[in-house]
Each structure stands twice: as C-alpha cells, then as structure tokens.
Chain A
Amino acid sequence: MKYLLILIPMALLPLVLNDFWLSQVLTRALIMGTIALSLSFLATYLGVVSFAQVTLAGVAGYAIAYFGPNTVGVGVPLPLIVTIPLALILAMAAGAMMGYIARRSRGIYAIMITLAIGVAFFYFTRQNYVLFNGFTGFSGVIAPALGEGNWGDPKPLYFLSLIVAAICVGLVQGFVRSPLGLAVQAVRDAPGRLLALGIPTTLPIVAAFAFSGLIAGSGGILNVWFQERVSSFSVGFGPIIDILIISVIGGLRHPTGAFVGAIVYVVLDIFAIDLIDRDRFNLLIGIVLLLIIVAAPNGLTQLITDGAKKLRGGAAKSRTT
C-alpha cells in the first residue's frame, strides 16, 4: 500500500515534467537505482559489499547489444523474445559464478574479490573485439519499436524503468521472505550455525549473487537502451564507485534507499555545474557523502523514516495533550 503512495504520483509525473526531467533525471535515477538495489540487496541481506554489480549490469547490457540491433556490425541478432531472457540469464549466471568464487569471503576479502572481477571484466571488454568490440564497444543499440517510436523514447522508457524498478523492489521483498531468502540472511548472521542445521552455505550465497545478477541485469538492459550504447566505460571503475556511492547515500538497509540515493546523485551530477565547476563534481559528491555518513550513517532513507516517525510521534502527543 505504502509503495502505491509512491508509485501513483510517480506514474503521473510525465503529465507535469518535460522530457529533460523525465529522461535525464528520473529515468537515469531509476536505472542507476535498480543497479544499486542489487548491491543494497547483497549488502543488507547477505552482508557482502560487492564491487561487481556494474559488471553484472554490463553482462546483460553487452548481451542486448551483441544479440540485438547495433550499428557496429558485431554480434548475432536474435529475436527480442530470446534476447531479453538470454541477457538476464547471462547476468544471473555471471552472478552465480561470482558468488561461487567469493563464497568463503567476507568483509574486505569479498570486496577485493568482487573488485578484481569488476576490473578484470573492464580490461577484458577493452581488449576483446570478438564479443565486446574492444575499446569502442557497441553503439546504435536501439530499444525495441513501440508504435512510431521505440521504448527508448523519454516517456516509454520512464514508464518501463518505473515498472522494472517496482518489480525489482517487489522481487527483493518477496525473496527475503522465502526459505532461500531466510537462509541468505542466516548466512549473514551465523554461517556456522546454518551449517549445523544441515543447510550448506554455498547454495544461499550463490543464489543471492545470482538474484542480484537478475536485478543488476534488469538495470543493465534499461541502461543500454537509455544510452543507446555500451562500452568498457559502462563497466569501468567510475560506474562501480557511482553505484557504491548511490547505495551508501540512500542507505543500504532498505530497498528504496537505492532509488533515493540515485535521485540525489543524479541531481547533483546534473546541477553541480550551477553550484561549482563541473570538474569539481567529485569534490561535491565527496562532501555530500561525508555529510550523509556523519549525519545519517544508515543513509537518507533512514533519516527520512526516523524524521517521519518523530513527526507522527509529535502529532500523536499533541492530540493526547
């Protein structure tokens, strides 16, 4: 119910916002938020901070470009009905593989392993021309047709991104209430205890990473339609850090935190030029991140939730006095 209170106004926004706000701010934030959600999911429920969620998004993005229409003449075009599931399956398989590799790692070691995978994938895409078309990657990756236009047009892509984001949030909330989702949280809290219940820890870890691949892959598909291109820059160190910052700003403890963080990040990215020299964006985002970590260690979402609770508490108090 509370999500409808967010979704309905968001569905009405195209009536009042122009294409710039819809496309460059909200759609971009929804796409980045979806990818960041995959990181928040892993961090909150498995207790692992992964630096390779952009890689998983990239796997799906490259799959869409390679198996779909592009203007570089590389790839094997397949029907859309095959391409999209294939892209998601590849992202999930990549996630599962990553989970298997990192299954015994926690904390800084998991970060290092996922970072290594992310950076290795980045360099691999730059050097491989058969699958990834090297440094330049794929351009002219057009979204599927829709009437006279295509799904990549501002309004359709906004609605599509909103629906995908809502589905992903719903999937996360459903998954964590499933037996496998409970096992994932049990791995986070006490892996040895889970083993003592007769439940091996590898399956929940691999499943969590595969599930995060599904979420990140969904964002990756939207991203390639939004950008109409995918290249090594899409999976580089910059986007990896961007997604981490978004997750931390929004707060890792709640699925919607990723989207709150994404909105703040995108707005700052676009309008930083009005506040500070464009080249100083990293300084600005660094200061914002620092302030949020100091003022609200659990992110803006927690700050907003706590504020709303206080307001409700204050209102209830004033009614009783």
Chain B
Amino acid sequence: MPLSDAHNTTANALETQGIGKRFGGFWAVKDVTFSVKPGERRAILGPNGAGKTSLFNILTGDYKASAGSIRLFGEDVTKQSIPKRINRGLRRTYQHAYLFDGLSVRDTLFLAVAGIRGGWRQVLPVRLSDPRRAEAERLAEVAGITQFLDRMVSDLSHGQRRQLEIGIALAEDPKVLLLDEPAAGLSPAERPQLSKLLLSLPKEVTVILIEHDMDIAFQTSESVTVLFNGELMAEGTPDEVMADKDVHQIYVGGAHGH
C-alpha cells in the first residue's frame, strides 16, 4: 500500500496534493502527491535532475507551485510567504551550505533563535545574560560545533558548515525539517558523525531528507519516496523501495534523469 494512502489522515505533518512546478514547457516537478506523519523520518531519493530540490523549494515557498496544494498540519500553505511557513514550523537546510559568512557561529545561531521580534529592543546590543544566547549555545552543542562558537562562519570547514546548517534549522521549535543532501561533500570520516547527529534529532520533529548516500538515508529514515523525472515513482519502507523493479532499474539498470 502506498504510504500516501496509509498516512492520509488529518494528522499529517506535511501533505501535498498534485503539486508541480513548470519552467516554460518543462515540468521540474509534476503531480506529486505524498504525505508525511508527525515525527516520521522520510528519505527522498532519485537521480540527479529528478526534482528533489525543486520539490523542497516548492514546499518552502522558494518556488511558487504551478499546480497542486501543500498542507502543513492540515493548514493550506500553498500561497503563503516563506516567513509565514517558517513561523508554522517548517525549516530547511540547503544543498550548498548557504550561510552568513560575515557573522560568527554564535551570532548566526543567535539570529536563528532570536529573529528580530520584540520591538525597539532589537536595536540594543545583545546582553551577555540574554537567555537566547544560552539557547544558541545549546543548539551549537546539539549540532556538535560548540568549540567553534566564536569562529567566523567563513572560517568553518565544509562539514562544520553542514553542522551549522542543521543547528540553524533546529532553532525555534521546528516541526518539519527539510534536509537537502546534508552529507554532500563530507569526507567518509565525517559521515558517521552526521548520521549520529541526524539520529539524535528530537523524535517529535518530522524529518524529510534528500540524500544520495544510501547508508545515511536508510539508516536514518523509516520511509522512502523516490522521484524520477519530476514524478513520484515509488514509496514505501526502505526494503520495499529497494525491492521495487523500477527503482532498481534507475539505480542499477542505467536509466538517467535529466
């Protein structure tokens, strides 16, 4: 039974109905319907050009959907702005770490925690005793980058930048976390550390993960969705998906995306 049907309840954390994105005459994502339960770990697989990152961009609002609808905890967010979706608990990381190079790790995490809410006090320097600083430090600890708190983001290694991305995404009570290839560019030595970090994420947070590294994807996810040429090809548990003939054909048989 497809997972979309299994999870088609009012309690879905995220639910899409026939969403698509068209660039000119080309559908980067076409008629994708799926749903993810609260607290579920879902991996999105597919070859390059399958539309995985485009799907994330539609979910976050970076791309306006050309068709279909998106529901976040039952609420239609299809036409909502990015900040509104973020305020409803949707968070993401980027395939290519996209960070504030001119800020320190501490300031970056502080900004993720504090935002710019609170009226005129937002123009006053941050006090050392500000509880939001402590929260930023806690996030650094969760992401395993405590020792780099006072380092400039531009001075971080690729792996540390990935960890910081996850730390940022965990700020301010995330409900649905979209991780776009968190292991991309990591050395083999850094990958187990990332797996450990992903497995340690709070259980109540729904995680949707795009990942090419099958070990990490299957180790950290209980369900898998496969995209191919922008369309949903298969869904199921890791074992079910790996047993799927079409999926096998893509990964072993030499079929290619765009």
Contacts and interface: CB of A to CB of B under 8 A. Distances in A.
Given A174-B125, A179-B111, A199-B115, 6 more contacts: A175-B123, A178-B124, A186-B103, A190-B100, A196-B62, A199-B83
18 contacts: A175-B123, A178-B124, A179-B110, A179-B111, A183-B116, A185-B102, A186-B100, A189-B99, A189-B100, A189-B101, A189-B102, A190-B101, A193-B94, A197-B112, A198-B82, A198-B87, A203-B116, A207-B123
Interface string A203-229: 110010001000000000000000000
B42 interface: no
Interface in A155-203: 174-175, 177-183, 185-186, 188-190, 192-200, 203
Interface residues of B, number: 32
A199 to B, nearest CB: 5
B87 A185 contact: no
Interface of B: 60, 62, 82-83, 86-87, 91-92, 94, 98-103, 107-108, 110-112, 114-116, 118, 122-126, 168, 171-172
| A interface secondary structure, majority | helix
A154 B108 CA distance: 46
B100 A180 contact: no
Given A174-B124, A180-B123, A182-B111, A190 B99 contact: yes
Contact of B83 (A182, A198, A207): A198
Nearest to A171: B123
Contacts of B91: 196
Interface residues of A, number: 27
Nearest to B98: A193
A307 to B, nearest CB: 23
Nearest to B82: A195
Nearest to B111: A182
Nearest to A180: B122
Given A179-B126, A180-B116, A195-B82, A190 B111 contact: no
A204 B116 contact: yes
Contacts of A185: 100, 102-103, 107
A198 B92 CA distance: 11
Contacts of B108: 186
Contacts of A182: 103, 107, 110-111, 126
A179 B112 CA distance: 10
Contacts of B82: 195-196, 198
A31 to B, nearest CB: 25
Contacts of A180: 116, 122-123
Contacts of B60: 196
A193 B94 CA distance: 9
Contacts of A190: 98-101
Given A186-B111, A192-B98, A195-B83, A179 B103 contact: no
Interface in A87-108: none
Given A186-B100, A189-B100, A203-B116, A177 B86 contact: no
A181 B103 CA distance: 11
Closest 7 A-B residue pairs measured CB to CB? Answer: A198-B86, A177-B125, A189-B100, A180-B122, A198-B83, A179-B122, A186-B100
A13 to B, nearest CB: 30
B115 A179 contact: yes
A298 B15 CA distance: 51
Given A200-B83, A203-B116, A193 B126 contact: no
Name the residue in B86, B98, B100 with the highest tally of chain A Cβ atoms < 10 Å from its Cβ.
B100
Nearest to A45: B102
Contacts of B122: 178-180
B172 to A, nearest CB: 8
A196 B123 contact: no
Name the residue in A175, A178, A181, A196 with the highest tally of chain B Cβ atoms < 10 Å from its Cβ.
A196
A177 B126 CA distance: 6
Contacts of A204: 116
Nearest to A207: B123
Nearest to B132: A179
Contacts of B107: 182, 185
Contacts of A197: 86, 111-112, 115, 168, 171
A46 B102 CA distance: 11
Nearest to B85: A198
A175 B121 CA distance: 11
B117 to A, nearest CB: 8
Given A195-B82, A196-B86, A197-B86, A179 B118 contact: yes
Nearest to A203: B116
A58 B215 CA distance: 64
Contacts of B83: 195, 198-200
